[in-house]
Amino acid sequence: MVDQEISKLLKEINKLKDENQKLKSRKKYGLVWEEEKEPEQVVLDCQKKIPILKEVKSKEILTDKDKPINILIEGDNYHALQVLNYTHKGKVDVIYIDPPYNTGKAKEWKYNDKFIDENDNYKHSKWLNFMNKRLLLAKNLLKNDGVIFISIDDNEVSQLKLLCDEIFGEDNFISKFVWEKNFAPKNDNKYISTSQEYILLYAKQKILFKRNLLERTEEHNKGYSNPDNDPRGNWSSGTMLATTFSEKYVFSIKRPNSTEIYPPKGRCWRYSKDKIQKLLNDNRIWFGKTGSNVPRIKRFLTEVQAGIVPVTLLKYKEVGSGQDGTNDLKNIFGEQIFDFPKPIKLINYILKISSKKNAIILDFFAGTGTTAHSVLDLNVDKGNRKFILCTNNEDNNGDGKKVCSDICYPRIEKAIKGYKTIKNVKVEGMGGNLKYFKTNFIDVDSIYKVSDNKKLNLTYQAGELIAIKEDAFEELEKNEYYQIFKNDKKVVGIYFIESHKKLNELLKKINKYDSKKIIYLFSWGKTEYTGEELGYSNIKIKDIPQPIIDVYKEINKL
């Protein structure tokens, strides 16, 4: 008994030594928090459980075979992100998330099945632990030119910025948007009425990210006119003065009214004497209607960029307010079904500046499904953007409705199929396809030592993961030996067992198709076979289940 107590004490001492060493090795500048005061149970579970997905066929929505398949995952987003690290590593173009803001308000968010309130002394550390693990997994999913947007408010914006600097790299920070959430002051506020929230934008590799321009509108063109009837059309004017002083750029310019003008003391013209003369000869300088004003250079509407450069100040008139988000849901459900949803226009803005028409867009704090609604809305431009949404199915603020099954899914269904607003106005469906999955688990003794029996079990249950990974969802056949999926570009087979009794049968069936051919072949470790060795050089052979296990083993080291 004494030996056991001594052994336990020595382990505790060694643990304290390790923690002390970690603290000593930390950077003096940066973010420090209580990392493991209370480990997150969903993270610990993954040491002895392998996350998988199970499709809920009754919730499948298929309206157009020519449109992409979107994905909704019901379950804890940590488990969903583990699965996506197998299916979508390096494939995601844009991530948008709206995580809990950690305001301390009642029933805002849970850590280990307990709501975190303002009296929790470790609320910031718990929130950072929670976010750190998920952001590390999310980073793996981004393409090298991909980006992540994170909504946040004043409670954690500073901590989040430092955390993201560590995870994504300070050099990959692009911008912090300020969103005008509220446009009317709240007179009952104790101190100051807060009007804004923030959206942090980071790139996987900033040098590779190319932002899109926004479409020009009549509002943007209001500043252009043609007071001198220039045949080149409408123009706007800009200053001719430079702030950086240069003596050689100080000279007089003759105005149309025959007077001369010099730059103010300490300032100079922006261009050389020769260039200004060329601009004068080309009627590119404007001195006002009387010809006696300060010279300004003309910029023609036909010469400006085809679009508008995005700005960091997001005004509610352009991207919607918090009330607009609430109204979006009221129009769909006829009631205020969820607190503080984001407006569709805000997510549209984010995706317009960051995504291509064939982008994969992930939201793993999906809530009401605004991101899905936005993607469907943007695809009206004949785009093929795809969304992946993850959200839990907890009770929504005690009202009896479940977040995923009773709010997020119905909203997506209505957006796809159409609905009537609260004023009985019919809204046409935008079309689209959806697959609904739930997280599930295979129990193992340890993720680092999976038994042969559990490997077989994983292989039998890996169909959904493979279908998602290969984007091939049409199931053609499944029996005790194999399973076959396809899409319009490829056919995918999964062979479940060690014995090759039915393998040739599967190979022949796969080989009948003209499209790309892939077989996931069961192996205890790494398979020794290629398609050519099996007599089918046009069939690509991949391993299963070891690559899935390897991904989870690596993740659990984070």
Domain range annotation of the chain: 51-215+310-438, 235-303, 447-555
21 residue type, one letter: Q
Does position 65 have pLDDT exceeding 80, yes or no?
yes
pLDDT number for residue 192: 86
Residue listed under structure tokens 């914006």: 157
Query: Tell me: the pLDDT tens digits for 354-382?
Result: 999 999 999 999 999 999 999 999 999 89
Nearest to 310 by CA among 220, 387, 373, 248: 220
Question: Phi and psi for 127 in degrees, rounded to 5?
Answer: -65, -40
Does position 116 have pLDDT exceeding 90, yes or no?
no
Please state, in angstroms and rounded to a whole number, the distance separating the CA atoms of residues 243 and 267: 6
Indicate the CATH number for domain 51-215+310-438. Answer: 3.40.50.150
Q: Is 439 exposed, middle or buried (0-12, 13-18, 19+ CB in 10 A)?
A: buried
Query: If pLDDT is split at 50, 70 and 90, which confidence band does 528 have?
Result: confident
pLDDT number for residue 29: 65
Side-chain-side CA neighbours of 58 within 13 Å: the count stands at 2
Higher pLDDT, 35 or 388: 388
Query: If pLDDT is split at 50, 70 and 90, which confidence band does 264 have?
Result: very high
Query: Tell me: the pLDDT tens digits for 333-342?
Result: 988 888 889 9
Query: Tell me: the pLDDT tens digits for 404-438?
Result: 999 999 999 999 999 999 889 999 999 999 999 99
Q: pTM for the full model?
A: 0.86
pLDDT number for residue 32: 76
514 residue type, one letter: D
Which 3 state secondary structure label does DSSP give 414?
helix
In this structure, the number of other CB atoms found within 10 A of the CB of residue 162 comes to: 16
In 130-272, which ranges are E strands?
142-152, 173-180, 196-203, 214-215, 235-239, 241-242, 253-254, 260-261, 268-269
pLDDT number for residue 331: 92
Contacts 24+ apart (CB under 8 A), 309-315: 309/213, 309/214, 310/211, 310/213, 310/214, 310/349, 310/353, 312/175, 312/176, 312/177, 312/178, 313/177, 313/178, 313/180, 314/177, 314/178, 314/179, 314/180, 314/199, 314/346, 314/349, 315/180
Percentage, residues of the chain above pLDDT 90: 75
pLDDT number for residue 138: 98
Percentage, residues of the chain above pLDDT 70: 96
Query: Tell me: the pLDDT tens digits for 202-238?
Result: 999 999 999 998 888 888 888 899 999 999 999 999 9
Q: What is the mean pLDDT of the chain?
A: 91
Please state, in angstroms and rounded to a whole number, the distance separating the CA atoms of residues 238 and 260: 19
Does position 293 have pLDDT exceeding 90, yes or no?
yes
pLDDT number for residue 480: 95
Does position 27 have pLDDT exceeding 60, yes or no?
no
